Amino acid sequence: MEKYPIPVSIENIERILIQMKKSVFCIYRKDGCRGTGFFCFISLKDKRFPVMITNNHVIDEKKLKNEKEIHISLDNGKKLKL
């Protein structure tokens, strides 16, 4: 028996998107490049830790050595300096 995706109402999709937008951020580098990332939790030895995830081409070891600050912008308009 084949399983099909369960239909999701527009109201549920909107709620899901609102929750997802709280987790996504934009990264700004001094050289003008931008990228995106998201917040999540990882579990290690029965403890949960908040982490930021992005791609290596956005922030890699070389860029972290050259740039001492990372600026991110959240969906609610807030800007953070890490």
pLDDT at 31: 74
CA distances (Å), origin 11, targets 4, 23, 75: 20, 19, 20
pLDDT at 12: 81
pTM over 0.75, yes/no: no
pLDDT at 49: 92
Distance CA 5, CA 46 (A): 32
pLDDT at 80: 75
The ranges of the chain with pLDDT < 50 are: none
